[in-house]
Chain A
Amino acid sequence: MNYYILNHHSARQGTAVILALVFGVLLLQLAIAYSGLIGQYRPQTEIIDERVRLQYLSAGLTEIALLKFQKFPADFYNCWRFQASSSANPSFWLDTSGPLPEFSITAPEFNQVAANGFTTSRSTFNDRPIRLCLSEMRLMTDNRWNVEVLQIKAHARYTGRSGNVINIDTIRTVRTERVTRR
């Protein structure tokens, strides 16, 4: 009888400790996994921040492009007509040479910022320069009805601290009315 009790007791000895150890290891794994998740959370906020800053800057560039169009509409239309008739490229508004790109996408006033990088828009956690340029300025409709739509697209590019490149395109579409004076 005594032998039975002793044997039974030794078979159960340490069960609670083993269970506690297994539970402890699981908790440790949980802690490691959770700390990994927290590590990924901060870059997400930074990415949102970067996108917002890029969006505002590129929207501002479309404003300047629209100003140029409003100041020199006849010159833009002339450039457009010349490029449309002389270019072999169906997407002639993306040409890199000729009067139209000189008016729009290769004009230094829209690419000056791209060369140097824009550093005014920054924060405690991000101070990398933002590069801006105008990527498109095109008429969406033809002039048969005297009403047209001008689409201006600005591109902003940014290399984050972790090396990830973020690109944002802001498109502004405005209705224009062509008035011919004779």
Chain B
Amino acid sequence: MAHPRLRTPSGVTLMEVMVAVVIVAVSFLPIIGVLGTSMKATGNEDSINRAMNLCQEKLNSSLQFPFDFFTLHLGAPIDTPISAPGASLILGTEAIEGVTYTSTLTVADRPGSFRVPVRDLTRGNPDDPKTWTFSTTVVNYTNLVHTYTLRVSWKNRGEQESRFYTLTTFRAKLSNQ
């Protein structure tokens, strides 16, 4: 005669356990998919952020050079390291954490004209500004303002097309430089 305890079905059957395991495994699939997408997106964001930082760092460095340093290079993309007394800048290709970034600096002249209201000194009371009159003069300039464009391009692993990030700013030939 068998013992009653041994015959009490207080657990779950093997079939139930198998079905439950299958359900849980299937439920994990979307999570794994999302995690995979997330990891890939994070990797891409990392490369974008690194390119942005690289671009800012190099553009700031390029602004440390004397204004006239780039006169001979105006309009031509520079993609090799450059240096001047007190300043140096690495341009061209750099490999960071398995991704190759290519930095190119282009300095171009930005000619323009200033519109200047000039006071007519022959008319009005010098001590009473309300009586002053003005006429407008246009003054053209060249080689006083440069446009700095720094472009960083890279290609993520597993991607066919390369990406790029560009920062642009203006620099003027100020009297204290």
A residues at B contact (CB < 8 Å)? 1, 5, 8-9, 12-17, 19-21, 23-25, 27-28, 30-32, 34-35, 38, 41-42, 45, 48-49, 52-53, 56-57, 59-61, 63-64, 66-68, 70-72, 75, 78-79, 81-82, 84-86, 99, 102-103, 107-109, 118, 120-125
In the complex, the answer to whether B132 meets A82 with C-beta atoms within 8 Å is: yes
In the complex, the answer to whether A31 meets B31 with C-beta atoms within 8 Å is: yes
Looking at the complex, which of B83-91, B94-102, B141-149 is the stretch in contact with chain A?
B141-149
Q: Is B82 at the interface (CB under 8 A from chain A)?
A: no
Out of A19, A41, A64, name the residue touching B172 (CB < 8 Å): A64
Taking A13-B13, A124-B164 as known contacts, 6 extra A-B pairs with beta carbons closer than 8 A to each other, sorted by chain A number, are A8-B9, A13-B16, A24-B23, A38-B38, A42-B45, A123-B166
In the bound complex, residues from chain A placing their C-beta under 8 Å from that of B43 are none
Give the complex CA separation of A108 and B7 in angstroms: 96
Q: Is B69 at the interface (CB under 8 A from chain A)?
A: no
In the bound complex, residues from chain B placing their C-beta under 8 Å from that of A13 are 13, 16
| B124 CB to nearest A CB, Å | 9
In the complex, the answer to whether B30 meets A27 with C-beta atoms within 8 Å is: yes
Q: Is B3 at the interface (CB under 8 A from chain A)?
A: no
Count, chain B residues at interface, CB 8 A: 63
| A37 CB to nearest B CB, Å | 9
Give the complex CA separation of A34 and B41 in angstroms: 13
B142-169 residues at the A interface, CB under 8 angstroms: 144-145, 147-149, 163-169
Give the complex CA separation of A59 and B167 in angstroms: 12
What DSSP secondary structure best describes chain A's contact surface? Answer: helix
| B57 CB to nearest A CB, Å | 12
Out of A35, A78, A85, name the residue touching B34 (CB < 8 Å): A35
In the complex, the answer to whether A60 meets B114 with C-beta atoms within 8 Å is: no
Out of B13, B116, B149, B173, name the residue touching A103 (CB < 8 Å): B116
Given known A31-B30, A42-B45, A121-B167, contact A20–B129 (CB-CB < 8 A): no
Residue of B nearest to A49 (CB): B52
In the complex, the answer to whether B174 meets A17 with C-beta atoms within 8 Å is: no
In the complex, the answer to whether A28 meets B27 with C-beta atoms within 8 Å is: yes
Q: Is B80 at the interface (CB under 8 A from chain A)?
A: no
| B26 CB to nearest A CB, Å | 7
